[in-house]
Amino acid sequence: MTAGSSARAGVLPYSHGRNDNDGSSNGPQQPTKAPATGVQAAGMRAVAAQMVAFYFRAPVKAFFRGRIDYMGYARAINPHISAAAGWSWRMTTPAILAHAIRTEGWSVIPNQVLPPLMANTCIGAVLYTAYLHSLSSLHAPSSYQTKRVFPPPPPSVTFTAGFVAGGIQSVVAAPFDALQTRFRTADILEGKYKTMWHYAGHKLGSIGLQGIFAGWTLSFVKDALGAAVFFGTFETIKSQAYYEYVARYYGSRTRDTLLDKSIPYLDDDDSRPVIRPHYMLEPMFLLLAGVSASITSQLVQHPLSEIQDVHYRRLEALDFQAHEERRPSHIMRRYYHAYEQTFAQCERLAKRAGGWRTYLYRDFLMSTIRQVPSTSAGLIVFEVVRRKYSFENEEVMINHEDARILLN
C-alpha cells in the first residue's frame, strides 16, 4: 500500500454463511473447511496437470514434483515406448492408458495406476491444508476465512507458513519417496509383486523405519524451502502487488477521469468518487503470481533435486548394509556418512560440468517451462476453491485524497 493511503471496510456487508436469526455473533467465522479446500484443490490440480500434458507430450508432474510416477507401469508394457519410437498420438497419456487397459483389463487401474495417483493427490492435499492452517495460526485475518483477506499477510508470514507446510509434507511423503526411489518396473513385470499395493506393503516392511527416512533431510530442506518460496511469492504478488498497483494507478488519475469512471456509492459524509478496478486486473495478477511462484520455487528445488538424485542412488546399497548391522547406532552412522559421500560425488560431477552452477542448474530452463503451466493452473484452482469455501465479507475500500477504490 502506498504511503498516505488507508483502508476501511465498506458499508455493504454480506451475510452469506451466517444465520441472522440464530442469535450467533455476526463477527468473522473461524475456518472449518480447510481440509476440504486442500483435497479439492489437489484433486483438480491433478486433472489440470493431465490437460496440460497433451501440449508437452508427456505426463506433467503433480504439484511441484510428483512423488510417484503413476504411469510408469503403463509405459513399461507399451511397445511404442519400449521401442523408443518417434512421438505420435500413441505416446500421449490417454493412449498409453488405453493400451494398458486393452492388454491387462480394467484391473490395471486399481492395481497399478490408482495407488500412485492417490499418493500424489494425498501429498498435495496435505501441503494445501497444512498451509491454510499454518497461515490461519500466524495471521489473524486469514483465520476468518473470508473471500478477501485484508490486510493481506506480509511476506514473512506466508514464507513461514509455506515452510511449515513443506516440512509437514516431507514427513508425509517420506514413505512414498522411499517406494519411488526403490521401485523397479521389472519386479512387477516378472511377477515378483502382483500389484502396487503388494509392492508397497512388502517394500515398506523390508526397509523399516530407518529406510523410509533415509535421505529425509534433503527432502525436508527441498520441500520446506521450496514451499516457503512458492507460497511467499504467490501471496505477495497476488495480494500486496495487486493492492499496490490499483492504489498507485487509480490514485494518480485526474479527478475528471475518476468522475467519468465512478460508480454510485451512497455516503453522506464523503463526496469522493468510488472507483471499481477493471475486472481483468485481479485475474492477471493471479496468473502472474502463479507463474512467478513456479519459477522462483524451481530456483530452489531444481539444484536440490540434482543432489537428491545422486543420494537416492545409494539407498538400496544402504538398505542391504543396514540388514547386516546389529546396532542401530552403526546404521545411523552409515546413513550419515552417505551424505558425505554424496557431497564428494557431486563435487566431482560439478568439476566435470564446469562448476557448481552449471551442474546444479543443467536442464533448468526446460524443466521450468514444463512445470509453469500446470503449477500456475493449480494455484488458480487453489485460489478459486479457497474462495468457494470462504464466507462473504464486507467490501474493502482503499482511500485516497481524490477517490476511493472499491475491491470486491
Q: For 225-237, what is each residue's pLDDT tens digit?
A: 999 999 999 999 9
Residue 21 lies in a domain: no
d(CA 310, CA 306): 7
Residue 403 lies in a domain: yes
Percent of all residues in the chain with a pLDDT value above 70, rounded to a whole number:
69
Residue with cell 492435499: 125
d(CA 139, CA 149): 10
The total domain count for the chain is 1
* Closest of 175, 222, 181 to residue 64, by C-alpha: 222
275: β partners: 405
**Cα–Cα distances in Å, from 30 out to 16, 27, 157, 383, 395?**
14, 9, 19, 18, 19
* Closest of 112, 134, 143, 129 to residue 42, by C-alpha: 129
Residue 20 lies in a domain: no
* Closest of 209, 158, 204, 155 to residue 183, by C-alpha: 204
Q: Which of 132-141, 178-187, 349-358 has the lowest mean pLDDT?
A: 178-187
Residue 216 lies in a domain: yes
Residue 145 lies in a domain: yes
38 vs 103, more confident = 103
Residue 261 lies in a domain: yes
Between CA 377 and CA 383, with CA 379 as vertex, the angle to 5 degrees is: 115
- pLDDT at 349 > cutoff 50: yes
6: β partners: 399
Q: What is the largest CA-CA distance in the chain?
A: 83
Residue 22 lies in a domain: no
Full residue range of the structural domain in which residue 401 is found: 6-11+31-407
Q: What is the mean pLDDT of the chain?
A: 75
Residue 121 lies in a domain: yes
316 vs 354, more confident = 354
Q: pLDDT tens digits, residue range 38-88?
A: 665 555 555 554 444 433 332 223 334 456 777 777 887 887 776 666 667
Helix (H) / strand (E) element for 214: namely none
Of 38-47, 141-150, 305-314, the range with the highest mean pLDDT is 305-314
